[in-house]
Amino acid sequence: MIDEPTRWLDEGALRVLVPRVLAGLVRRGEDFDAAEDALQEALLEALRVWPEHPPRDPPAWLTTVATRRLVDARRSEAASHRREEATHAEPQPSVTEEGDDTLFLLFCCCPPDLAPASQVALALRAVGGLATKEIADAFYVPEATMAQRISRAKRALAGPPARRLDQPGDLAVVLRVLYLVYTAGHTGSPARVDLAREAIRLARQLTLATEEPEARGLLALMLLNRARLPARFDSEGRIVTLERQDRGLWDTREIAEGVRVLQSALAARRPGRYQIEAAIAALHDDTASAEETDWPQILAWYDDLVALTDDPVRQDPASVLGRAVAVGHVLGSAAGLFETDRLREVLGDRHRWHAVRGHLHELDGDLPAAATAYAESAQRATNVAERDHLVRQAARARAAGSARRAQR
C-alpha cells in the first residue's frame, strides 16, 4: 500500500481525467473498445508509477501510455489483422472542455439499440472510470458477469458514432442512462459504490457541454432528490416516508444548488419531464413541514407532466400514479382513489399502486382498507426495505383501526 498518496493518486482525481483522455483517443480514430482497455491499463500503471514519479502533465502521461499499449496490442495482432496506419498520423485535436468529452463519450456508450443495462455498465466504466469490480458490486453480479457484459457491449460499438449527435433523441437516451445510474444508487446498501453521486457528477459535466434544459432539469432532479437522503432512513435502516422525515436533516446546500439549476433550466422555456419532476421535488424540498406542502401547485405540475404523453395511462403510468396522490390531497382521497382506478389494468399488480391506495385510504381515515392495501403492496414489493416498511404500515394501520373501533 502507498503511505503518502500524491494528489493524483486520489482515486476521484484520477477518474476525472478518464473522459478527457479517452475522448482524445477515440476522436483521433482509435477503436473505442481497444482505447478503453488501453486506458484502464494506463490507469493501473499510473497507480504503480506516480507515487515515485509524479507526472508533470497527468492527462498527457495517460494518453502516451495508453497509446503505447494500443500500438503494442496492434503490433501483436498485426499478423492476422492489417489495420489502417493512417489514423496515427492524424494530429490530436486541440484540448476540448471536460464537458464536451463527457458528452461525446456518453453518446458513444449509449447507442439507442444497446440494452439499458449495457449502456449503464459501459458509461460507468468508460466515462465514470469505475473498475469492473466496482460496477459488478454495485449491481450485485459476479465480476466475471459484468466483465462479459461490458466487453459484449464494447464489441457492439464500432468506433465513434457514425452520425452526428445532435438529435434530441440521442440526448434523451443519455439522460435516461444517467437517471438509471442514479436510481440504481438508491436500491443498494450504503456501503456500495455511490452510484447516485457518480450520476450527479456525470450530469454536472454534461451540463457544461449542452444548453439543453432537460440536462439541467435532470441534474436539478437528482440534487433535489438526493438532498433528502439523510432523512430517508432511520438509524436501523428503516424507511422514513416524506411526511415523517426530519426536515432538519435535509441537505440545504444541495437544495439551493438544485433550485438554482432548475431555475436556469426553466428560464429556457422548453419544459420537459426532468424539469417538471425537479419542480415537484423542489416544492417538497422548499416546505418546512409536511402540513404546509403546496399540493395545488404540485398537482399543477403533475398536470403538465401527464400532458407530455398522448396516452399517459399506458405510456407514463408512474406519473399518473404520482398525480393521483396530489389529487387525493387537493380534491380528497375519493378523487385520488378514482384516479388510481384508471391504472388498475396497467399497474394493478405493482406494489406501488397498492401502496398509493393505502396512503389514500389512510388519508380518508379508512384504516382497515389502508391496512389491506399495504399488505397487498408488501406481497408485491421487490425490495426488502420497502417490503418491511409496507408490512409495518399494514400492521400500524390495522392496530390503529381496531383501537378506534374499540373506542366507539
Residues that bind another protein (CB under 8 A): 236-237, 371, 374-375, 378-382, 384, 387-388, 391-392, 394-396, 398-399
Between CA 71 and CA 42 the distance in angstroms is 13
- CB 234 to another protein: min, Å: 11
What's phi and psi for 272, nearest 5 deg? -155, 180
CB nearer another protein, residue 267 or residue 403: 403
Between CA 39 and CA 66 the distance in angstroms is 5
- CB 232 to another protein: min, Å: 17
Q: Which residues pair with 233 in a beta bridge?
A: 239
The DSSP code for 112 is T
CB nearer another protein, residue 94 or residue 382: 382
CB nearer another protein, residue 236 or residue 291: 236
Between CA 404 and CA 126 the distance in angstroms is 58
Q: Which residues pair with 55 in a beta bridge?
A: none
- CB 29 to another protein: min, Å: 45
CB nearer another protein, residue 255 or residue 394: 394
CB nearer another protein, residue 315 or residue 402: 402
Nearest to 181 by CA among 206, 144, 151, 208: 206
- CB 355 to another protein: min, Å: 13
Between CA 145 and CA 161 the distance in angstroms is 26
- CB 393 to another protein: min, Å: 9
Contact 55, 8 (CB under 8 A): yes
Between CA 28 and CA 88 the distance in angstroms is 8
Contact 217, 171 (CB under 8 A): no
- CB 347 to another protein: min, Å: 15
Residue 52: helix, strand or coil by DSSP? coil
Q: How many CA atoms lie within 13 A of 97 on its CB side?
A: 9
- CB 138 to another protein: min, Å: 17
CB nearer another protein, residue 103 or residue 375: 375
CB nearer another protein, residue 197 or residue 396: 396
